Amino acid sequence: MGLSSLTVSNNRKHIVVVFISLVFILKISLISCANQESQIYTVHLGKRQHNDPKLVTDSHHDILGSLLGSKEASRESMIYSYRHGFSGFSAKLTSSQARELSENPHVVHLTRSKNMKLTTTRVSDYLGLTSTAPTGLVHDTDMGSDTIIGIVDSGIWPGSKSFNDNGLGPIPARWKGQCVSGEGFNASMCNRKVIGATYYAKGIARKYKGAFNAAERDEAMSPLDKIGHGTHCASTAAGSFVQNANFLGLGQGTARGSAPRARVAAYKVCWNNEECFTPDILKAMDHAMRDGVDVLSLSLGSEIPLDFEVDRSDFAIAAFHAVMKGITVVCAGGNDGPETQTISNVAPWIITVAATTMDREFFTPITLGNNVTVLGQEGLYIGEEVGFTDLIHFDDLTKADFEAGKANGKILFTFLTDRFTDQMAEFAKSKGVVGIIIATKPIDLIEPGTAGIASARVDYEIGMDILLYLQTTKFPKAKISPTKTFVGRPSATKVARFSSRGPNSISPAILKPDIAAPGVGILAAVPTGVGYEFMSGTSMATPVVTGIVALLKQKRPDWSPAAIRSALVTTAFQTDPSGEPIAAEGSPRKIADPFDYGGGLVNPGKVADPGLVYDMGHDEYVHYLCSAGYEDISISKLLGKVYTCPSPTPSMLDVNLPSITIPYLSQEITITRTVTNVGPVGSVYKAVIEPPLGINLQVSPKTLEFGPNTKKITFTVKVSTTHRPDIAAPGVGILAAVPTGVGYEFMSGTSMATPVVTGIVALLKQKRPDWSPAAIRSALVTTAFQTDPSGEPIAAEGSPRKIADPFDYGGGLVNPGKVADPGLVYDMGHDEYVHYLCSAGYEDISISKLLGKVYTCPSPTPSMLDVNLPSITIPYLSQEITITRTVTNVGPVGSVYKAVIEPPLGINLQVSPKTLEFGPNTKKITFTVKVSTTHRVNTDYHFGSLTWTDNGVHNVRIPLSVRTRVLNFKI
C-alpha cells in the first residue's frame, strides 16, 4: 500500500438523503462620518512609467509633495511606495487631501484602506466548522477534547506549533498507548496533544532481510516524521490553533484541524521512498485498537486490481475488527481519477473519502506585452517577479538553437499533453531560460515548482490565447509575477481531477466513495523550516472527515460507525456551501454525481442531527459477505467462529447502506432498507422521490411514524426501468470496404463518422443546391437527435461517464430524416466569416493575405458572440450581455415561430422578439438574446437550448453553452 497523496423528510427540520437548506445572511454596514483626522489611503497610478524603482518612488513623492507642500512632508506621510508590479503608494491623508489628490490627472483611483480580519487556512471556515459560534458541533464537544484520533501514516513531527497542548486537560484515562523513543525522537516530546507515538518497521526490515538502512533513505528509526505526510494529516484532523500560518506568505491565516482539541496518536508505518508495508500497518491498527483510539485515519490506498475484502485484503480485515469494536475507520479513496472504477478502500465498513477543491485558489499572473494579463491556474511561484523579457515558443526552436543559447534569458512557452511539467522546467532552466509557461490539462495540484525558475501553468484555452499573441506579434514579450492568494468565491467547488471515482470494482452494488471533503491545496504542518506547506490528495481530504467524525463521536458516543457514516452521507451538501453546483473535473467535465462524491460534500453543521440513520452492525456486515459470495470458511475465519450463510443467499442490494446502487436492472425488483430514529419521539417522515432518468420508483410505506415504542422502521423500494436496448453510434464498429482478401472490415473513429455525415451532406446538396455550406451546417445542427433514434439518452463515454452535452456531440446525432426540411437556417457568408476573424484578434495584414485584398477590421471590433452560428457559446459571462442572431426562412411563406427556452443552470435568458413572422416579403429576421447569470462564483459550462417552433412542424433547436466567470482568468 502507498500513501495516497500525489498524493425521506419530516414536517420539522430533518430531511434525509435529499435536503434543502436556506440560509439568510444579514449584512449590516456601519458607516462613520468623515472627519479631518488623517487616515490611510491607497493611491493607484497604473502602470510604472520607469524601469528604475527609485525613479518610480521619486515620482510618487513629487505627486504627494505637491499636495502637502514639501518632499519632507511627503516622506513623513507616505507608508509604502508600490514600485515593482505597478505604480502607486499608500499614505496618511485627511479626507479633504484625499479628495484633492483624487483630482490629480496622474491618479487612476484612490481608496481608503480598511481593516481586514485574520482568515483561517480555510477548510474549517469553508465548511462552516466555526469554533467561535455559540452553538454547533465544535462548541458542543469542546472541540473534541475527549476523543483520540489514531493516524496511521509516516509518523509525526511533535515540535510543530500545531501540536501544542495549551489549554488541554489531562489525557483521557482510557488511553493505554505510549510514546516510544528512537532516533531523533524522545518519548518526552509527547504531551497532552500528541499522546502516543510509535513506529513499526519489523515488516519492512524483514522485507529487506534485515538490511533496511533508515539513514540511507533519510529516515529515522523512530516515530519521527521525515517526509511530512503524517504530520500534515494529523494537523489537518486535529491541529491546535496556530496564528499566521502560511507557506512563504501564501494562504496566511489561523491553522487548525477539524477537531482542534482532539488528541493524536501517531503510528508510523510508512518510510521515505518506500511503500507502507502491510504487516506494519496491521500491527499499528492492532495496537490502536488496544490503545483506545476512537477514530482511525488512514490516508493509504491500493492500486487496481483491488484485493478482495476477506480473502486477500489484510487491511480491510483489520478495519473490520476495528469497526466491530466501535472504532470508525476513515480512509482515502485514492488518486487515480478521473477514470471510473478506480476508487479504493471499498469495504462497506470503511468510510471512503473523495477530494474536492474549496473557495481558495492561487493564481500566478502572466502579463503579455500587449498588457493583457492571464492567470496561471495551478502551481505556485514564490520567487521574484521576472520582468518583461522575450517570449519564445518551444516548437519554434531546434535542439541546436537551445545549445546555441537562443533561449538564454527568455521566457519559454510550450504545450504539454502529459504531466511532466517539472521535467520540462528543469530542461528549460538548464538552457538558461528565466521563466516557463506551460499549457496543460488541469490536475488540481497546488505545489511549488521544483526547477528554481519562474513557472506558471495554464489550461489549453488560455494557452491558445498566448499562442495567438505569440504568432501575431513581431517581438512578443511577457512577465511572470509571484503567485497570489484568492479567498472567498472566485471559483465553484469541484471534485478534483485526481480523486478516484466509482463505481466500486469489487462490489458494484456498494456505493463508493461515501463522502467528499476539501483535499486540494491544504495548508498544514510539515517537518521543514517553513513549518507549513500545501499538499493535495484524497490523503488531505481524509483527515478533514476524520476530525469531524471525532467531534461527532464525542457528541454521539452511542452511535455506531455505520450510524456515523449514515449521518455524513444523508446530511451532505450536493452544492457547495454557497449554493453553487459542484462540478467533477475530468475528461469531459460534468456536474458531480455519487460516483464522484458519494453523498456529497461533508456538512459538519448538520451531521450531528440527521433525524434518521441507516445503521449496521455485525449481522448486516455478515449479510454483505454472504451476498458477495465469500465462502463460509472465509467468513468463519473473519468472525473467529463457525458461520454458515443462509439459503437462499441474501441480496447485496438489501445491505442497509445509506445509498441504493443497482448495477444490473432488467426487471422489477424490490429493495429493503431500515431506518433508525435518532431525532425526537413522535417524528413523522414522508418520502420525496427524485427518480433517475427512465427509472420508476415506488416506496412503501410512504410515511414513517416514530411513536414512543417505535425506534426502527423498515421500508421497501420497488424499482423498474423504462429503458430499451442501446444502439451503436455511427463511428464505432463501422463495417466498410478495405483492400484485403476479406473485402470488408470493422473500423472505429471520428474518421469513420465523418463520411457518414459527408454522404448525408451530398444528398442534401443535391436536394438543396442553392444552400450555402453554412445553411447545410445549420440544418444538420438544428434538426439533430438529442436522444438516439429509439428515444434513449445518448451517453458520453469518458472519465468520468456522463450524459452527452454539446461539447460531446455538438447539436446532437445527425438526423437525415429531418435535415432537408429544417424550417429556418442560421446562414453565413463572406462577411460573417471575416467578422469572426476580426473578433478572434487576427491582424488586418493576416486577414488581407487570406482574402487576397486589403482589408481593415471595423472599430470597435465586432463580438465573436455575434457570429451567426447555429449555437451560442459564452465562455466568459460576468454581467448581462446581448447576443444577436439572424435566421433565414427556408420553409413555407407565412410561417410563424415562437421561442422555447431551456436555460442552462443558473442562467437567465430573454429572447426578443419572442415570435417570428415570415410574411411574403420577409425572408430573414434578426433576434436578440439577453443573457445574465445568477452564479456568484466561477463555474464550468452549463448547457441548455433555444428552439424556434411552428407548433411542432419544425423545431429549430440550437445548443446553449454558458460559463460564468466572476473572476476572469484573462484580465
- Residue numbers annotated as active site: 153, 229, 539
Burial of 685 (0-12, 13-18, 19+ CB in 10 A): buried
**Residue 399 CA neighbour count, 13 Å, CB half:** 0
All 3 cell numbers of residue 273? 521512498
Q: Which residues have C-beta within 8 Å of that of residue 310, sequence separation ≥ 6?
A: 316, 317, 625, 630, 634, 635, 637, 638
Q: Which residues have C-beta within 8 Å of that of residue 958, sequence separation ≥ 6?
A: 781, 782, 811, 826, 870, 871, 872, 945, 946, 947
3-state SS record for 586-647: CECCEECCHHHHCCCECCCCCCCCCCEECCCCHHHHHHHHHHCCCCHHHHHHHHCCCCCCCC
How many Cβ atoms sit within 10 Å of the Cβ of residue 665? 14
CA dist., res. 346 & res. 325, Å (int): 19
The amino acid present at 41, given as its one-letter code, is Y
Angle at alpha carbon of residue 152, lines to 228 and 224, rounded to 5°: 45
Cβ pair 921, 888 in contact under 8 A: no
Phi, psi of 315 (to 5 degrees): -60, -45
Residue with cell 439459503: 647
Q: Is 878 helix (H, G, I), strand (E, B) or coil?
A: coil
CA dist., res. 413 & res. 385, Å (int): 17
How many Cβ atoms sit within 10 Å of the Cβ of residue 672? 14
Of the candidates 449, 265, 232, which has an alpha carbon nearest to the alpha carbon of residue 332? 232
Residue with cell 483491488: 306
Angle at alpha carbon of residue 663, lines to 661 and 667, rounded to 5°: 100
Cβ pair 250, 485 in contact under 8 A: yes
Cβ pair 950, 903 in contact under 8 A: no
Residue with cell 503524517: 230
CA dist., res. 812 & res. 782, Å (int): 9
The amino acid present at 571, given as its one-letter code, is T
CA dist., res. 899 & res. 872, Å (int): 15
DSSP string covering 28-50? ----PPP-SS-EEEEEEEES-S-
Angle at alpha carbon of residue 56, lines to 53 and 61, rounded to 5°: 130
All 3 cell numbers of residue 33? 462620518
Phi, psi of 360 (to 5 degrees): -130, 130
**Residue 151 CA neighbour count, 13 Å, CB half:** 38
DSSP string covering 159-184? TSGGG--TT--PPPTT----B--BTT
Q: Write down how long the chain is.
A: 971
Residue with cell 436536394: 767
Euclidean distance between the first and final Cα of the chain, in Å? Answer: 45
Q: At what angle do helices 538-555 and 561-570 cross, to 10 degrees?
A: 110
- R_g of the chain, CA atoms, integer Å: 32
